[in-house]
Amino acid sequence: MAEYDYDVVYLGTGHGTFDGVIPLAKRGKRIAVIEDGTIGGTCSNYGCNPKITLDAPVAMLRSLENMRDVLPVKDAHINWAANQKHKQAVIGGIPDLKVSRMEAVGIEIINGYGILQDRHTVRVGDRQLSTDKIVVATGLRSHHLPIEGTELFHVSKDFLALEEMPASVIVIGAGYIGMEFATQANAAGAKVTVIMHGDQALKGFKQSYVEQIIADLTKRGVTFLRNVSLKKAEKIGNQVVVTDVADVQVTADWVLDATGRIPNVEGFGLDVVGVAYNKNGIVVNDHLQTTVDNIYAAGDVIDKTQPKLTPTAIFESKYLMHLFAGDTTAPIDYPVIPSVVFTSPRIAKVGLQADQITAPDKYQIETHDVLKNWYRNVMNEQFGENELIFDDQHYLVGATEMSDYAEQVIGTLLPAIELGLDSEQVERMIHIFPSLESITWEQI
Ligand SMILES: Cc1cc2nc3c(=O)[nH]c(=O)nc-3n(C[C@H](O)[C@H](O)[C@H](O)COP(=O)(O)OP(=O)(O)OC[C@H]3O[C@@H](n4cnc5c(N)ncnc54)[C@H](O)[C@@H]3O)c2cc1C
Ligand SMILES: NC(=O)c1ccc[n+]([C@@H]2O[C@H](COP(=O)([O-])OP(=O)(O)OC[C@H]3O[C@@H](n4cnc5c(N)ncnc54)[C@H](O)[C@@H]3O)[C@@H](O)[C@H]2O)c1
């Protein structure tokens, strides 16, 4: 058998790598991780963590607004510069922390761009690493709208680093990033225009909830322009003017291109070694094995039907750890994966959704105006609806909610769905009272 320097070399240090490598190293495997950018990848540095930190005062402002009679705070507003400083204080130490945790278990961390030379060799700068297995966890990067003047646009990473909130912002795209950042920019005082390519925002989320959020943001001064096809952008003075195919123009100080994220699959040798990929990412089998059998992929870079989210990447990274450590030979078996859009209010969901049901007689859909529950009035929430889906044995199989606490509600329902709890088991779950958990479980 060939002898290699490493058992596994990982490209990337995001959650597709990080959560599996530490336990794998503890099992005695010789591991190197190669990172071209910031240690920890997108979620920790340019995604979830900075986003949720910047969002905290946005959510707080809404809560304050809901309780304004009780808490008559005058002139509550977001100091964006201070919010940015706070964010940096919260997340700035994460890369070093991750480095020390990996180094503590003997993982070698190599800064640089990893290039596959052959199926057992990775090159970084002038180093050649020989390895038994390779895991490609190179993630996604921002898509750039292919129109004249696209270089005038900024992307999510830039938004998360804004020192000051510009007076006016155009957001192109109304997916996760578009809607979350439009919410933040509006709350921080910017005049926001969201440019939608089609008619629907947040495809995949319950549209009646999405439309309520759009209506609320509209009331707060955000302009939504639907069915717009942009053709160019130009700089006039200090502002950017975007023009659509019908020659309608919108002007702002700052433009966010939020038209999606695309897989990092080019330029590091996948073609050379024969790893197949397409526009959605790397093709893998049910063991996360690519078309080259000692090369695996994990996280967002995979072409998959599961949502490209941090919890999915963590699950895949841990699955590969178990596979490489010899704990399992079974295919990956994904659990239900919840998702949330961090607007104010949030929309969260898990499991089967009403628009996915093809045999309506087999399911029962229960809708709740959650604001009718006394507990949900404690914080004087203004929005609160959910939809719970049960199968014909009355097992909970799916749920979605729009409210200020939707992610917590969906999180608390998750075990009932994933573990397939029957009504007796549901009854045996005793929750603290009063709490969001107890009120939520009353519904199942
Ligand atoms: C603005 C934003 C907000 C988000 N918010 C959420 C959220 O609230 N909840 C959630 O669940 N998900 C969220 N996500 C998605 C989440 O960040 C991703 O699902 C997660 O980071 C995927 O992890 P990954 O390891 O697959 O990829 P990444 O974290 O992107 O890591 C890939 C790493 O590979 C490196 N790399 C690429 N090519 C090479 C190479 N050849 N050699 C060496 N290194 C290389 C890159 O520099 C990068 O650091 C958000 C994403 C964005 C952009
Ligand atoms: N809360 C979260 O979990 C969270 C938050 C942010 C990002 N993410 C992840 O990040 C990834 C990317 O998010 P995203 O918001 O960039 O992608 P997305 O696919 O959610 O949204 C892209 C948006 O751009 C629009 N668009 C596409 N082409 C356009 C055009 N020519 N003109 C105008 N609009 C156009 C699409 O219609 C869509 O609304 C996703 O994988 C998502 O899972 C997750």
293 with 276: CB under 8 angstroms? no
Between the alpha carbon of residue 238 and those of residues 21, 165, 223, 234, 325, the distances in Å are: 47, 15, 21, 10, 57
Segment holding 21, helix H or strand E? helix 15-26
342 with 309: CB under 8 angstroms? no
Tell me the CB-side half-sphere exposure of residue 54, using CA atoms within 13 A: 32
Question: CA-CA distance, 57 to 316, in Å (whole number)?
Answer: 33
**Is residue 223 situated within a structural domain?**
yes
Q: Are residues 386 and 269 in the same domain?
A: no
Residues in Cβ contact with 399 at an 8 Å cutoff, skipping those fewer than 6 apart: 349, 350, 351, 386, 387, 388, 389, 409, 410, 413, 417
Collapsing DSSP states into helix, strand and coil, what is residue 171? strand
Of 236, 239, 242, the C-alpha closest to 254 is 239
Residue 414's domain is classified under what CATH number?
A: 3.30.390.30
Q: Are residues 131 and 269 in the same domain?
A: yes
Which tens digit of pLDDT belongs to each residue from 109-136?
Answer: 999 999 999 999 999 999 999 999 999 9
**Is residue 338 situated within a structural domain?**
no
Q: What is the pLDDT of residue 1?
A: 47
Helix 310-325 to helix 15-26 angle (10° resolution) is 30
**Is residue 339 situated within a structural domain?**
no
Q: Is the CB of 340 under 6 A from ligand 2?
A: yes
Question: CA-CA distance, 196 to 175, in Å (whole number)?
Answer: 9
Q: Are residues 253 and 267 in the same domain?
A: no
**Is residue 335 situated within a structural domain?**
no
Which tens digit of pLDDT belongs to each residue from 15-58?
Answer: 999 999 999 999 999 999 999 999 999 999 999 999 999 999 99
Nearest Cα residue to atom 25 of ligand 2: 173
**Is residue 333 situated within a structural domain?**
no
Domain edge (last residue) among 204, 228, 259: 259
Q: Are residues 255 and 266 in the same domain?
A: no
Residues in Cβ contact with 348 at an 8 Å cutoff, skipping those fewer than 6 apart: 338, 339, 340, 341, 400, 401, 406, 407, 409, 410, 411
Q: Is the CB of 311 under 6 A from ligand 1?
A: yes
Tokens (6 digits) for 33: 């991780």
| Å from CA of 388 to ligand 1 middle | 31
**Is residue 421 situated within a structural domain?**
yes
Question: CA-CA distance, 331 to 25, in Å (whole number)?
Answer: 22
251 with 241: CB under 8 angstroms? yes
Residue 282's domain is classified under what CATH number?
A: 3.50.50.60
Q: Are residues 24 and 102 in the same domain?
A: yes
Which tens digit of pLDDT belongs to each residue from 312-360?
Answer: 999 999 999 999 999 999 999 999 999 999 999 999 999 999 999 999 9
- Domains in the chain, number: 3
Q: Are residues 292 and 362 in the same domain?
A: no
Beta bridge partners of 295: 134
| Å from CA of 156 to ligand 1 middle | 12
Q: Are residues 12 and 100 in the same domain?
A: yes
Between the alpha carbon of residue 131 and those of residues 5, 244, 271, 306, the distances in Å are: 6, 51, 19, 29
Spell out where 137-282 has E strands: 140-142, 168-172, 191-195, 223-225, 230-236, 239-244, 249-252, 254-257, 261-263, 277-278, 281-282
ipTM: 0.98
Tell me the CB-side half-sphere exposure of residue 345, using CA atoms within 13 A: 27
Question: CA-CA distance, 366 to 427, in Å (whole number)?
Answer: 19
Question: From the CA of 43, which ligand is nearest?
Answer: 1
Domain of 378 in residue numbering reads as 345-441
What residues in the chain have per-residue pLDDT under 70?
1-2
Which of 115, 310, 410 most suits a substitution to test ligand 1, by most atoms within 8 Å of the C-beta?
310
Q: What is the pLDDT of residue 109?
A: 98
Report pTM: 0.97
Decide the pairing of beta strands 31-35 and 108-111. parallel
Q: What is the pLDDT of residue 2?
A: 58
Question: CA-CA distance, 416 to 411, in Å (whole number)?
Answer: 10
Of 235, 303, 312, 238, the C-alpha closest to 265 is 303
Q: Is the CB of 177 under 6 A from ligand 2?
A: yes
Between the alpha carbon of residue 9 and those of residues 3, 40, 296, the distances in Å are: 14, 16, 10
**Is residue 40 situated within a structural domain?**
yes
Nearest Cα residue to atom 15 of ligand 1: 309
Q: Are residues 22 and 57 in the same domain?
A: yes
Q: Are residues 298 and 212 in the same domain?
A: no
**Is residue 236 situated within a structural domain?**
yes
| Å from CA of 235 to ligand 1 middle | 31
Between the alpha carbon of residue 78 and those of residues 353, 356, 439, the distances in Å are: 36, 39, 32
